[in-house]
Structure 1
Amino acid sequence: MKKVGYTTGVWDLFHVGHLNLLRRARLECDYLIVGVTTDELSEAGKGRTPIIPFAERLSIIEGLRWVDSVVPQVNYDKWEAWNNFKFNVMFVGDDWRNSARWNGLEAKFQEVGVDIVYLPYTTHTSSSKLRGILDRFEQADGR
């Protein structure tokens, strides 16, 4: 049976941590579907619009050899995503391990045979850190 993987992200300010997660995910499945969070969902969920526009982030992810299919993520409902794509395994950064949200998702997905695999989060590089650097430059520049 073909093992279909699924993961999502904003993928803003794409960096080596993103690359590592996608590369590692693809090693653990036969087909990898990647959701790219829309600008609107990011604004609603994080209170800010990504620096890189949605269409460009989508294009970046589409260009990666480890990614087989790219879809817009228009909401955070992983159960709806499973109903749409019927994946067998979902990949997420290990910074979410043991959170109430993901513990609940693990239990729900276990009922339909979907495994949640936590992949290493890159602590030394993150989009939040990169965004902070950009914000400091803009403040210093008077923007």
Structure 2
Amino acid sequence: MTKKIGYTTGVYDLFHIGHLNVLKRARLECDYLIVGVTTDELCESRKGKRPIIPFVERMEIVEHIDFVDEVVPQVNMDKMEAWRNLKFDKMFVGDDWKGSEKWNQMEKEFAAVGVEIVYFPYTSHTSSTKLREVLNKFLEES
């Protein structure tokens, strides 16, 4: 039996229970879990802001989670390039992307190379964006 390699990515800024749950659930679906942590530069170019927690520290946080087997930098959004480099069998993505034109196309491209895309529910009650908003409000008041 060959081992199933899983892959997921994220910024993992202000690491919270939603992040932990996604990683834990992903690991249940594969034998070896690779996690791509988005660099500060990629995050800034995509979202217009730098993460609060620096990249090196976010990498270290994710590396110390028992059920994460390998952590790699995510330097661009090219998931096929990641697949060519890492050869994963499953990719885990938040269900907020499911059904979008981009991800429908990605499903077709990945199916052609034997990769299954697995969607997980987005944790709406806790998010780094919400935590950032609360933190900014607190800092403005103090």
Please give the alpha-carbon distance, in whole angstroms, between the structure 2 residues aligned to 1:100 and 1:13. Answer: 29
**Structure 2 counterparts to residues 52-91 of structure 1, below 5 A:** 52-91=53-92
- The alpha carbon displacement at 1:94 in A equals 1.0
Which position in structure 2 is the counterpart of 1:111? 112
Which position in structure 2 is the counterpart of 1:34? 35
Please give the alpha-carbon distance, in whole angstroms, between the structure 2 residues aligned to 1:98 and 1:135. Answer: 33
- The alpha carbon displacement at 1:138 in A equals 2.2
Please give the alpha-carbon distance, in whole angstroms, between the structure 1 residues aligned to 2:101 and 2:66. Answer: 33
- Aligned to 1:116, the other structure's residue is in SS state strand
Please give the alpha-carbon distance, in whole angstroms, between the structure 2 residues aligned to 1:89 and 1:128. Answer: 27
- Amino acid in the other structure paired with 2:20: L
- Aligned to 1:81, the other structure's residue is in SS state helix
Which position in structure 2 is the counterpart of 1:25? 26
- Amino acid in the other structure paired with 1:14: F
- Amino acid in the other structure paired with 1:20: N
Please give the alpha-carbon distance, in whole angstroms, between the structure 2 residues aligned to 1:49 and 1:138. Answer: 17
Which position in structure 1 is the counterpart of 2:123? 122
- The alpha carbon displacement at 1:102 in A equals 1.1
Which position in structure 2 is the counterpart of 1:100? 101
- Aligned to 1:95, the other structure's residue is in SS state coil
- The alpha carbon displacement at 1:120 in A equals 1.5
Please give the alpha-carbon distance, in whole angstroms, between the structure 2 residues aligned to 1:102 and 1:128. Answer: 22
Please give the alpha-carbon distance, in whole angstroms, between the structure 1 residues aligned to 2:134 and 2:92. Answer: 28
- Amino acid in the other structure paired with 2:120: L
- The alpha carbon displacement at 1:139 in A equals 2.2
1:23-59 deviation line (CA, Å, top 9, x unaligned) = 0000000000000000000000110000000010000
Q: RMSD of the TM alignment (CA)? A: 0.7
- The alpha carbon displacement at 1:96 in A equals 1.2
- Aligned to 1:79, the other structure's residue is in SS state helix
Which position in structure 1 is the counterpart of 2:16? 15
Aligned residue pairs total 141
- The alpha carbon displacement at 1:121 in A equals 1.1
Which position in structure 2 is the counterpart of 1:50? 51
**After TM superposition, which residue ranges in structure 1, 4 or more long, deviate above 2 angstroms?**
138-141
